[in-house]
Amino acid sequence: MTQLWDFSGGIHPPEHKAISTARPIRSASVPDYLVLPLQQHIGEPAEAIVEVGERVLKGQKIADVKTGMGVPVNAPTSGVIESIADLPVPHPSGMTDRCITLKSDGEDQWCQRNPVKDYRSLERDQVLQIIRDAGISGMGGAGFPTNIKLRPPRDRKVSTLILNGAECEPYITADDMTMREKADEVVAGLKIMAWILRPERCVIGIEDNKPEAIAALQKATEGTQTEIAVIPTKYPSGGEKQLIQILTGMEVPSGGIPADIGVMCQNIGTAVAVAKAVFEGTPLISRVVTITGEAVREPGNFEALIGTPIEHLLEQAGVNQNAVSRLVLGGPMMGYTLTTEAVPVIKTTNCVIAATAAELPAPSPEQPCIRCGQCAEACPMELLPQQLFWHAKATEFEKAEHLNLFDCIECGACSYVCPSSIPLVQYYRFAKGEIRAQQAEQLKADRARERFEARQARLEREQQEKELRRQERAKAAAKAAAKKQAEAEKAAAEGAAVDERAAKSALVEQALARKKAKAEASRQPAASEPPAEEKPDIEALEKQLSQAQSKLETMQGMLDDAKAQQADNVEKLERAVAKNHDRVKRAEEALAEARQQLAAGPTESQPTH
């Protein structure tokens, strides 16, 4: 027999469970429209991967989390995407969030599924990917993605796997009826998770007020090493940390997680979803929801598609709208009042209570604390609710956090026993929210500061690199300028003088040739034909001009570089350029004159009579 321990505190509120266990689980009809929020679990919201007007099949992935922690959303039935807009969602704030609205076509046509007969033939990562693609998240609490939870850190070996079938909160019977009617699927899902984790011990914890579920699971686990631990009925024995303490005697450290002590808890509904995903290839598109309360004629549990409006389920249970005084999503201890029936069923929805005024009367006005200490006696986490209340009310959040405010599981036991009707849990939730907001702002400021410091360091580094490159360029430019200056001085001293003398010599020779030709012509008789003049050497003149122009271009380039570098030899190069300009001009004139002389040709003398 499994050894059991106890946890401090706890209460025994009226159960009200028999209201919804008289009938077997019923399948809710498919509504005309399904509203599928993109945020149904802890982590990043999914992003729509379909467009308005697109037809989708049952089970088809319509939204996914591309980065970060999260799981996809699958179409619960076949139909057409009606809209992607902000709509009311199940949340205590009553605010809207991004949702996909799917209009059912009534055909309920499945997409292709890939069931696995022998999951042991696959790698563990492959099975975890199947669980992830099925969109499975925890179905009993905040909705932590199951594939991530089943992959604990390597340094945290899970030695005990617990399946939480306690379902301790009043009114809720979804897990109870699931264990009664789907015990084989529950055990099948547990086996898959045990194969992934390889724990030394597997145990299913059930409160002793569920004899039918206990008998069904005992039969389903015959021949296995899975333990069925029947625990005393006390609220909140179904809390993760409390159930671990009952079954193992160990306490989860403050601020820690069960994996820190080698334990993991999973929900009954999660186990069924894992079994369906692996053996049937069916994603998480439906869940069991308890519809109860004195304002419904046929209370019970319904297998409802994810996205089904609450009002549709209330109609299935025969709600009397005139008798409804308060609509609670979840249980009376940890649930919250709904402001509209239009909110949909999501993966973590387990119960809706349509209560009359007599059943759940309005809370009494808050009175001053009388310091009776009952809240501290009832607290299962052994906190100091009275001091937490004072600090939260005085907005002394740092002091409240110092008193382990975040260890509070918000079970509501303190509020239940308070004779002054102080809504203690609401104060704690307010304080937690404010602390999280402050931490988010601080984190945002820290990240902004880190980005600023990184930017400043980058700018300084770039400035240093830029200065270093500038110095290297200046050094290279100075070296090049010195080299060019030496070449320029040498060219100005040698090349310019040689070219100038050559040009002058050509001009002198041409002038002497013309004078000689004229002298010879004057000595010949008038009647005789003058001898042909010596033709000018055009080719030599063109070559001289080309050399002069080339030299001018070279000197001009050296001058431009020297000006850009602000060298000391600018004036000297300017004089050299001016001289080369004159040389080019003289060479052009000499060439032009020679060409003109060549074009005129020898003139014939006229005969005399």
Residue ranges of the binding site: 369, 372, 375, 379, 408, 411, 414, 418
Contact by Cβ (8 Å): 38, 65: no
Asked if residues 555 and 563 have their Cβ atoms less than 8 Å apart, the reply is no
Farthest-apart Cα atoms in the chain, separation: 160
Binding residue numbers for [4Fe-4S] cluster: 369, 372, 375, 379, 408, 411, 414, 418
C-alpha distance from residue 160 to each of 113, 131, 247, 350 (Å)? 32, 21, 10, 26
d(CA 152, CA 9) in angstroms, rounded, equals 30
The alpha carbon of 127 is separated from its chain's Cα centroid by a whole number of angstroms, namely: 24
**Token digits of residue 505:** 């010599």
How far is 96 from 245, CA to CA, in rounded Å?
Answer: 38
φ, ψ of residue 506 to 5 degrees: the values are -65, -40
Residue entry with tokens 């400035």: 463
Q: How many CA atoms lie within 13 A of 396 on its CB side?
A: 10
Long-range contacts of 572-575 (CB under 8 A, 24+ apart): 572/488, 572/489, 572/492, 573/488, 573/492, 575/492
Q: How far is CA 573 from CA 557, 566, 585, in A?
A: 10, 12, 18
Q: Give the sheet arrangement for strand 55-56, strand by strand.
A: 33-37, 96-104, 79-88, 55-56
Residue 463 to residue 142: CA distance in whole angstroms:
51
Report CA-CA distances (Å) from 258 to 11, 45, 156: 24, 25, 10
Peptide bond into 344 cis (omega under 30): no
In angstroms, the Cα distances linking 390 to 22, 431, 564 are: 44, 11, 77
Q: Tokens at residue 303, please?
A: 């297998």
Token digits for 33? 């429209």
Place of tokens 């179904």: 238
**Which single residue is written with the structure tokens 């100038």?**
500
Q: Of 110, 57, 111, nearest to 79 (Cα)?
A: 57
* CB count in 10 Å sphere of residue 408: 22
Strand partners, 163: 204, 266
CA angle 237, 221, 224 (to 5 degrees): 115
| Residue reference for tokens 């989390």 | 65
Amino acid symbol at 449:
R
Helix 183-197 vs helix 268-279: crossing angle, to nearest 10: 80
- 137 three-class SS: strand
One DSSP character per residue, 250-265 reads --PPTT--GGGGTEEE
Q: Which residues contact 521 (CB under 8 A, 6 or more apart)?
A: 530, 531
Q: How far is CA 507 from the centre of its chain?
A: 85
> d(Cα 410, Cα 416) in Å, to the nearest integer?
12
